[in-house]
Amino acid sequence: MSAEFRSTGAALLEAHRSGASCWPAAEPEEGSVLLLAAAPITGRDRAYREVWRSYVGIERVRTVFEWMSARPEEWDLWGRVATLFGDSALHTIIVEAAEREAETAAIEAEEARLKEEERRLLSRKVELYILDPKAKRPGLSLESGHETKPFFVMRFSEKWERERVLDWLRWQKDRYLDFRDLCEAEGQLALERLIIAGMRETEAQMKAQRRTSGGRRPLRFWRGEA
Amino acid sequence: MLVAEGFTAAGPCLGLGLPLSLRGGDDEALATLSAGLGFAWQHELRRVIEAAIARTKSERTPWLKLPPLLLLGEPGVGRTHVARRIAHLASLPHVSLDFSDPAGVQQLWPQVCGPDLLLPSLPVLAMALGGCANPIVSVVGIECLEVATQHRFAAFIEPGSAARHVDYAAASTVDLTQVNWMVQCSDVSALAPKLLQLLRPVELHRPDVQTLPLHVVEVLAEAAIDLGVVERLQHQAGDALADLCQVAARRSTAEIYEHARRWLQTHCQ
């Protein structure tokens, strides 16, 4: 909504008239909102007349004026309401409604902010899940706190294979956010390769230090230490 | 203005022998009518009223004289509403003459029937009781009159005969030339040519979706004025408008008016 200033002693902020016979205006310094109508008298500085004026305070004048300006389809009706029922009727319709809407908008904005904050906090949490569905292959997944579906799923033919990976992966919590970034950037396969490579590297290191257990799960008793 | 000349020794009855006021033409009344007219979507009506206002100003006549109007439009478009709003704004008395009811004909041409009292015709009564020489008279159901009866009715409007209307009940000759006639009609072909040529046609239209709230607010104002609750409505006008706008689509003006009355009676009385 474009607006213009017109000098009438106090700065007068007017909404773009767009052909309506009435249009809103405001005196920000005075804290008043107005409804103006084209005056039949021409050749004067003020080629309009005040249909309605209401003092709303300097701090609220912009809010009410913008609310009025955003409803050009209502301007002529407001002009008639002011003419037929007086200033108080229009005050109820405009000022109280604008303030109600501003309050609602503020509440909604705060709710949205809190929701986004919660989402932001949850997004920093990544959990490791063990998948043991009936009659299906065992697996593991990584899931962000703000999502309902895992961003990474890894399936295995046998449970011991999954346990072997878990022996390493459950000690990589600090890297889960990096894992998610990699998965989003390069896909699940890249993350799967990273996990397998990391596991094998650690197994090799632990084996060299003779700290592995025997059997199919070399890192079974490993606790993430270097 | 002296409107009646008695033809009995007692003179005109009902105070018709005294000067009656001619209203609606002073600066304040014209400003009220001009600023308060509304009906933004009734372009033809606005043109006619604005022309009458301009003529009143230029001729410096301190009363409002509209040409005899033929308000055309489908039933429910708001013809009586228009007449009543103009009457209110110009501070003129308003009466309705309904020819679709057999009693309407009796109101214009009263007849002696046994012990029934002979009353003056409706325009004369409006002048006498309103104390005003230029009331607004709405005429409804003109299509129900036969051509010959329409010709008789035309005599009330035609300036020559209207200036010397003989009213036996008032025992006087009454000047009806300043009466503001608003004849409602939905089928112009049913009008007698003689009557038609005396009237200034004004086509009235139903409001569209955009102008419906403007129509509703006018009807609400009419109902509030009728019930005397304009002051009490001030803080509830928004609620009343919202309620009426929900039911107003595809409803006649009379139905919207009735709904408005019920709402006001519930919330403001």
Question: Is A83 at the interface with chain B, CB within 8 A?
Answer: yes
Round to whole Å and give the CA distance between B137 and B97: 7
Average pLDDT for residues A77-89, to the nearest whole number? 88
d(CA B241, CA B221): 10
For A147-176, the pLDDT digits (tens) are 999 999 999 999 999 999 999 999 999 999
Q: How far is CA A114 from CA A102, A108, A111, in A?
A: 18, 10, 5
The rounded distance, in Å, linking the Cα atoms of B51 and B46 is 8
Q: Do B124 and B165 contact (CB within 8 A), yes or no?
A: yes
What residues does B181 pair with on adjacent strands? B137
A85·B241 Cβ contact <8 A = no
**Per-chain mean pLDDT for chain A:** 88
Do A74 and A62 contact (CB within 8 A), yes or no?
no
Angle at B82 between CA B131 and CA B196, to 5 degrees: 90
Q: Which of A73, A84, A97 comes nearest B217 by C-beta?
A: A84
Please check whether residue A130 touches B, CB under 8 A: no
Q: How far is CA B208 from CA A196, B216, B248, in A?
A: 71, 12, 11
What pLDDT does residue A4 have?
40
Starting from the edge strand earliest in sequence, which strands make up the sheet with B172-174, in order?
Answer: B4-6, B172-174, B165-167
pLDDT-wise least confident of A106-110, A135-139, A149-153, B168-172: B168-172
Q: Which of B234, B239, B267 to mutate to test the interface with A (most CBs of A within 10 A)?
A: B234
List phi, psi (to 5°) of B197. -75, -10
Check if A93 contacts B (Cβ < 8 Å): yes
Q: What's the one-letter identity of residue A17? A: R
A182 reaches B (C-beta below 8 A): no
Section A98-105 average pLDDT:
88
pLDDT tens track of chain B, all 269 residues? 878 888 877 778 788 888 899 999 888 888 888 888 889 899 999 999 999 999 999 988 889 999 999 999 999 999 999 999 999 999 999 999 999 988 888 888 888 778 888 889 999 999 999 999 999 999 999 999 999 999 999 999 999 999 999 998 888 999 999 999 999 999 999 999 999 999 999 999 999 888 899 999 999 999 999 999 998 888 888 899 999 998 998 899 999 999 999 999 999 87
Does residue A140 have a pLDDT over 90? Answer: yes
Under an 8 A CB cutoff, do A84 and B210 touch? no
SS3 B23: coil
Indicate the pLDDT class of residue A215, thresholds 50, 70 and 90.
confident
Is the confidence at residue A19, as pLDDT, over 80? no
Would you call B238 and A76 a contact, using CB atoms and an 8 Å cutoff?
A: no
Q: What is the pLDDT of residue B112?
A: 78
**Per-residue model confidence as pLDDT tens digits over A165-207:** 999 999 999 999 999 999 999 999 999 999 999 999 999 999 9
Taking the alpha carbons of B32, B123, B14, B166 in that order, is the dihedral positive or negative? positive
**What chain A residue is nearest to B215 in terms of C-alpha separation?**
A77
pLDDT score of A8 more than 80 = no
A41-48 mean pLDDT: 59
Instruction: Taking the CA atoms of B2, B5, B8 and B12 in sequence, report the sign of the dihedral they define.
Output: negative
Whole-number pLDDT of residue A44: 53
pLDDT of A39 over the 80 cut: no
The chain B residue lying nearest A72, using CA atoms, is: B210
What distance in Å separates the CA atoms of residue A21 and residue B177, rounded to the nearest whole number? 36
- By C-alpha distance, the chain B residue nearest A73 is B210
| Min distance B43 CA to chain A CA atoms (Å) | 14
**Residue A25 pLDDT > 90:** yes
Q: Measure A69 CA to nearest chain B CA, in Å.
A: 17
What is the DSSP pairing of strand A32-38 with strand A22-27? antiparallel
User: What are the structure tokens assigned to A191, written together?
Assistant: 């993350």
| Secondary element (H or E) of residue B104 | helix B102-108
Determine, for residues B236 and A80 on separate chains, whether the beta-carbon distance falls below 8 Å: no
Task: Provide the chain B residues 176-215 that lie in CB contact (below 8 A) with chain A.
Answer: 210, 213-214
Which chain A residues touch B35 with a CB distance below 8 Å? 83
Question: Whole-angstrom Cα distance, residue B79 to residue A44?
Answer: 38
Q: How confident is the model at residue A46 (pLDDT cuts 50, 70, 90)?
A: low
Q: Which residues of B touch A89 (CB under 8 A)?
A: 233-235, 237-238
